[in-house]
Structures are given as C-alpha cells and as structure tokens.
A and B are shown apart, each in its own frame.
Chain A
Amino acid sequence: MKSLKLDYLKSLKWADYLFFALVEPRRLSGKIADAASKPLGGGIAIALCAVFSDILAASLLAVNTRFFYYKITYGFLLLSIIAFVKVLVTAGLIDMLCQFMGYPGAVRTMIVLILYSLFPQMFLLPLAYVFKVISFAPPFFYVLFSIALFVWSALIVITGISETHSVPFSKASLMFIFPYAFITLTGFLASLLALASVFGYFASI
C-alpha cells in the first residue's frame, strides 16, 4: 500500500489535477468525476498550502512581531478550519441548489473541485513578494491579487459546475453565487433579528 502511494507520487499523475485547475478547468471536473476514489488528499493539501501562502503574504507586508509565531501555528490551524468549513458549506449549498433544480447530487466532486480551485491562490505569496521587494505599493497589489485570484478560483468552480451538470456558464455562475448570496442574506437577517432582540430586551426593562 505504502509503495503504491510512493509510485503514485513518483508518476506525477497527481500533477494533472493542478495542471487542469490552471489551464483546463473543464477537464479537471471531468477527471474528478471519473476518478474512482476522489483525490481528496491532494485537494486538502492545496487548501492548506493556500492558507499558509495567504498568512505568509499578509505577514510579509505587516510589521512583524512575536505574534507571527502564533499566526503561523494557531492562526494557521484556525484559518485552515475556517477554510474547510467554507468549502464544505459552499459545496453543500451548491449541491443542494443543483438537486433542487433537478440535477443529480455530486457533493464529493464539488468538494474536491472547490479544494483544487484554491490552487491559484497559492500564487498570492510570490506575486505580493515581488511588489514588496521593489517596494511598490505592496498592500495595494496584495488586495488586487487577492481579488484577482479569488475570481480565478471562482471561474474554475463555475466551469466545473457547468461541466459536471452540463449547464450553460451563466447558469453555473448563478449556482456558484447562490451560496454567497444565501449566506449574506441569512447573515443580514440574523443580525437584524439579533439587533431587534437586543433593542426589545432593553426596551422591556
């Protein structure tokens, strides 16, 4: 079993997922869907690396204190957990909507797809680093690249949804936006409810 894993690593077949994530997202979702055992391990590793890259990029631009050690250890654990929860919730909501619209459920494919879609976000560190080295508006470029790489990740997921369920790109975009809109709306309504409860409590005493 151990040598089987080593052979798989040596064969570099795992790199295909990353390659397709960058240049051919349609083939990525097809490959994930076709795989007998979903490459979840690789996806988790990508997500962890993306979180690590983000922490390092942000730390490079900030004034570094001893707090960096907490950021890179406990902070890394916390952000990784948040990232995985985010991935699970997003994949769950997307799949729920797909099933609601009459498409077959593919939540495992969706989870792995979203994990691999985080691969471009690993480029945040070297990109921000270049502008830090030349001291040319590093915070601006950090934000710019963060947004650009998020859009890239979103495009990978949207293309994957489009391929998995054979729906047009526009419809896949709406499916992708749904979880974010749902969470935003739920959060807004929950905060309204909380505010109303607080005001109500103070009004009654």
Chain B
Amino acid sequence: MDKNRKILVAILALLGLSAMLAVFEISLTLQGGGSEHYRLSAPGLGPGVGVVRITGPITMAGTSGGGLMPGSVAETVLKRLDDLGNDSRVKAVVVRINSPGGTVAATQEIFQKLMLLRRRNIKLVASLGDVAASGGYYIAAACDHIVANPGTITGSIGVIAVSPNLQGLFEKLGIKMNVIKSGAYKDILAAYRSLSEEERNLIQTMIDSSYNQFLRDISLGRNIPIDDIRPHADGRVMGGAQAVEAKLVNETGSFDTALERARKLADLPDNSPVFDDIQSPLGQFITALGGALFRPPRIDGLTNIDTGAAMIEYRYRP
C-alpha cells in the first residue's frame, strides 16, 4: 500500500508540473508572445506549411531524377507538389520561385498542378526571389497570394522562341547540310538556314496562342480581367514594388512574410511547422555530385542547342 501511495504522489506531482508548465506557457504568450525558444512545440508534426522551391530554367529536359541524378526542374517540382498534396499535414504551400521561366509545356503543367492544389483548398503563397519573370511569374499567378521582394525582377509576360541563324557562318566555312524531309516545314527553326516568311507566320501563330493562354491563366489565377493585365504584358520586366502597383503582386516582403501569410490564410498557429525540401548537407552534396557526374554538357543561354531543338518558351532572356 505504501508503494501505491508513493506512485499516487508521483502522479500528483506530474499533474502539478503540467499545470505549472501550462501557466508558464500562457503567461509567456500573454507577455507579448514570449520567445519561440521557450514555447513548447514539437517540430515537424501537426498541420503546417509545405515549401517547394523552383530554381533555374523550368524545363522537362533532364533525367528522370532516379538515384543520384537530379531530375528535370519541372519533374522534380511536380513530384514535390504531388507529395505535398498527398500529405494531410500540409494545409498551405509556399512556392519559392527563383526562375526566369522556361518551356511552355513545363510551365503550364506546374501551373495546372498548383491550381489543382488550390481547388483542394490548400492555400498557396508565392514568394519571388531574385528573378520570377515570364514562366516564373506564370507559376506564381496560380497562387492565392504573391509576395515579392522590392528588388525582385518580375513581369516579362510574353512568349519567345529563339533560334540562332548560322547560315552565314556555315557558308563561310563551306559547310552544307544534307536534309531529307517529309514536308516543307520539317526543319523549321533549323540553325543552318534562314526562316522563311511562311515559317515565321507559323511560329508566330503558336507564340500568339501560348501568349493568350498565358494571359488567360494569369487572369484565372489572379482573378483580374485580361484587359487589366494586357498593358503590362508586352514583355516588360519590373521590380517587386512596381509589380504591386500593377496588381501583378499582392505585397512586397521576404520569404518569412510569405510563410506568415500562408499560415494566416490556412488559419495555422504562428509556430506551425514548415516542411521544406532542403536536404541535409550530406544529401545536398550527394545530389550535387550526381548532377556534376551525370548532367549532359550544355552551352548556357542556348537551350535549344543542347537538345538539338528550338523551343518556344515563357522565358525572360536578358
């Protein structure tokens, strides 16, 4: 019986301790929020905010991302969004964008995936980094709220197709291409010859179609009429503050501002966990090693050359 009595006293002591902790925590909260360091919360559990990072040109080109090899930006982002969407703890997602845009299809796929999450009532907030132009902004437009730094380069709403014309160089070097083709336009945008007027019109039609889709999607995502977007949609770039004036961005602020906004939109507490996809230093090293070993050689700025094809892109090309 004596043992039972001591157990009971221990239980009472624990109950008293929990009461003291509760009073302590509530008092800290009342004293101006207290310090996050003192607040009792377990990291990584419970409802929180997911983070997806979109860095660099958005393209489907690249490996499938198996093993050590990094996947293409688009594939990696789509998989990450799938993971976040399937995670019941994720009530909001911050999309951190640091990209000049990319290919039309890759950008549209990410946009559609974000809209799908939005329809599932997951709150989306875009946080724009150094550059979130063209396709980078296209993706941001799918979010409920956009936060940009005052110095962020954004805008550049438009479509571009770039192909080098090396005909003169080929002639100078005496290089001739043997081309056997099934139709007149099969080697359209080939680097070894100039573009004909019909070919130019054909590409222009595609560009116009992609441009209109761009405007429609911004209008849908931002819930503003296309006519209000069109004056800013001539390919011009702008800073974050200008973008707020143009109503392309909701507010200026940092990544933390975006996190705070995401929590507010999803009605989450201030200390709710953040599920970021940043790996451990070892994981980053291994991925970087894999990328260095397996990445195909490329000439920067000439994306179409490393894949051998010209591309129509939502991309800011300074």
Contact = CB atoms under 8 A, between A and B. Distances in A.
Interface of A: 12-13, 15-16, 18-19, 22, 49, 52-53, 56-57, 59-60, 64-66, 68, 122-123, 125-126, 129, 132-137
Interface string B15-27: 1001101110110
B78 to A, nearest CB: 28
Interface string B45-58: 11110000000000
Interface string B25-53: 11001100000000011100111100000
A195 B2 CA distance: 58
B12 interface: yes
B179 interface: no
Contacts of B42: 133-135
Nearest to B20: A56
Interface in B257-280: 269, 271-273
Nearest to B7: A19
Contact of B1 (A16, A22, A60): A16
Q: Which of B6, B8, B272 has the most CB of A within 10 A?
A: B8
Main secondary structure of the interface of A (DSSP, over half): helix
Contacts of A132: 40
A19 B5 contact: yes
Nearest to B45: A134
Interface in B266-311: 269, 271-273
Contacts of A53: 15, 19
B220 interface: no
29 contacts: A12-B2, A12-B5, A12-B8, A12-B9, A15-B12, A16-B4, A18-B8, A52-B19, A53-B19, A59-B26, A60-B22, A60-B26, A64-B26, A64-B29, A66-B30, A68-B26, A68-B30, A123-B15, A125-B22, A126-B15, A126-B18, A133-B40, A133-B41, A133-B42, A134-B42, A135-B41, A135-B47, A135-B272, A137-B46
Contacts of A65: 30
B41 A129 contact: no
Contact of A60 (B6, B8, B25): B25
A126 to B, nearest CB: 4
B138 to A, nearest CB: 34
Contacts, number: 76
Contacts of A133: 40-42
A93 to B, nearest CB: 30
Interface in B61-114: none
B213 to A, nearest CB: 40
Contacts of A66: 30
Contacts of A13: 5
A125 B15 contact: yes
Interface string B198-237: 0000000000000000000000000000000000000000
A64 B30 contact: yes
Nearest to A66: B30
Nearest to B42: A134
A122 B23 CA distance: 15
Contacts of B19: 52-53, 56, 125
Nearest to A13: B5
A187 B78 CA distance: 59
Contacts of B48: 135
